[in-house]
């Protein structure tokens, strides 16, 4: 039962960034950075965050030089994520390279035969190695970037290996309050399969933007996700109705309802100060995890950041369901700064 619960929650909740149940390596779309999670889980324009290249390689820049980040996510049903990220400037002409690791540990499970007799235990985990680079066009405000990712997934004695790339283009001008970006993530292939069945990698195309409000210490973020497949909404069986003839009528999803499920919004208060407050809202997560006649606040997330010298601590609390919520912790270290 514990195994089934973990697998169900991971497939139905952990893979919101793609069309659920249609792909493998869904852990790639789980936000492991606290700042990212607090702002809704899909922010693409965090220019000064070394964890951002996991989601948008075109954000890699000189300001990330010698920045190191380590993140811990206590995910649903005791699933644990750990990720690290580091960036280093080769030189001012070449630019900066960023690398990182994402590791998801699903814990230990009881192994049993077809008759239910316990035969031992087994483990399951996912891991991805990533290296990214961005090129800024001379005398312009446009950069393009790419990540190369090697992915390994293990369940008991079964394993799968894959490769993918992320591509991004971003417009950013230090003298302007707005940033725009277009990103294609997880363009890849499952090289070796678990059991001979080829599965798709969770490709996703997203459009993101941010705006720094003038004279007010607030920065707003917005993302439109899953542009590669507009109809992402699925009827919820709990919302179906049965007429007098006993016929079940599925929930009808309107064009507006489906459209709103592509939006993720976030806001950051005091974004350039030593202390930040953050809040986010994921419309799709909220809609798909809502309970009938009960307000669950699914889709909401919040967090804060605290800078102390060369260190910065970020925390995020993400609301999924009355039974399960998550906490994310991030520690960022500026290795260029002594104190």
- Which tens digit of pLDDT belongs to each residue from 157-209? 899 999 999 999 999 998 999 999 999 999 999 999 998 889 999 999 999 99
Domain boundaries, the chain: 2-334
Q: How confident is the model at residue 246 (pLDDT cuts 50, 70, 90)?
A: low
Residue 81 in tokens = 């994520």
The mean pLDDT value of the chain amounts to 88
Answer yes or no: is pLDDT of 14 > 70.
no
CB 211 within 8 A of CB 177: yes
Instruction: Count Cα neighbours of 56 within 13 Å in the Cβ-side half-sphere.
Output: 31
Q: Which residue has the higher pLDDT, 239 or 84?
A: 84
Q: Quick check: 10 and 76 in contact, CB under 8 A?
A: yes
Looking at domain 2-334, which of 2.40.160.40, 3.40.50.720, 3.30.1540.10, 3.90.1150.10 is its CATH number? 2.40.160.40
**Residue range 126-148: mean pLDDT, rounded:** 96
Tell the residue number behind the tokens 């699933």, with chain if given.
79
Half-sphere exposure of 254 (CA within 13 A, CB side): 3
Q: Which residues pair with 126 in a beta bridge?
A: 104, 153
Greatest distance between any 2 Cα atoms in the chain: 75
In the chain, the percentage of residues whose pLDDT exceeds 70 is: 91
pLDDT, one tens digit per residue, over 234-244 is 777 667 777 67
- What is the Cα gyration radius of the chain? 21
35 Cβ contact partners less than 8 Å away, ≥ 6 residues apart: 43, 46, 49, 51, 278, 303, 305, 314, 316, 330
Counting every residue written for the chain, the total comes to 339
Q: What is the pLDDT of residues 22-35, one digit of tens each?
A: 689 999 999 999 99
Local confidence band at 21 (pLDDT 50, 70, 90 cut-offs): low
């Amino acid at each position: 039962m514990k195994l089934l619960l973990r697998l169900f929650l991971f497939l139905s909740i952990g893979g919101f960034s793609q069309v659920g149940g249609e792909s493998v390596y869904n852990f790639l779309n789980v936000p492991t950075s606290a700042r990212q999670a607090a702002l809704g889980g899909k922010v693409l324009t965090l220019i000064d965050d070394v964890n951002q290249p996991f989601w948008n390689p075109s954000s890699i820049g000189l300001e990330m030089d010698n920045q190191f980040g380590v993140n811990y996510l206590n995910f649903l049903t005791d699933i644990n994520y750990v990720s690290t990220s580091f960036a280093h400037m080769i030189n001012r002409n070449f630019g900066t390279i960023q690398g990182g690791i994402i590791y998801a540990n699903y814990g230990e499970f009881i192994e049993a035969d077809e008759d239910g007799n316990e035969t031992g235990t087994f483990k399951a985990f996912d891991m991805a190695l990533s290296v990214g680079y961005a090129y800024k066009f001379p005398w312009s405000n446009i950069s393009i970037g790419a990540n190369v990712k090697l992915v390994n997934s293990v369940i008991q004695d079964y394993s799968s290996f894959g490769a993918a790339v992320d591509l991004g283009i971003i417009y950013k001008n230090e003298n302007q309050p707005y940033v725009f970006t277009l990103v294609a993530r997880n363009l890849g292939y499952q090289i070796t399969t678990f059991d001979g069945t080829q599965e798709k990698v969770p490709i996703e195309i997203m459009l993101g933007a941010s705006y720094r409000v003038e004279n007010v210490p607030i920065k707003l973020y917005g993302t439109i996700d899953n542009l590669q497949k507009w109809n992402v909404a699925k009827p919820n069986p709990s919302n179906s109705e049965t007429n007098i003839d006993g016929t079940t009528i599925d929930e009808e999803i309107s064009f507006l309802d489906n459209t709103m499920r592509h939006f993720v919004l976030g806001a950051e208060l005091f974004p350039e100060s030593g202390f930040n407050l953050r809040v986010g809202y994921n419309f799709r997560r909220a809609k798909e995890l809502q309970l009938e006649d009960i307000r669950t606040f699914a889709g909401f997330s919040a967090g804060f950041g605290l800078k102390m010298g060369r260190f910065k601590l970020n925390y995020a609390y993400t609301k999924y369901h009355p039974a399960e919520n998550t906490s994310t912790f991030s520690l960022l270290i500026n290795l260029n700064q002594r104190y």
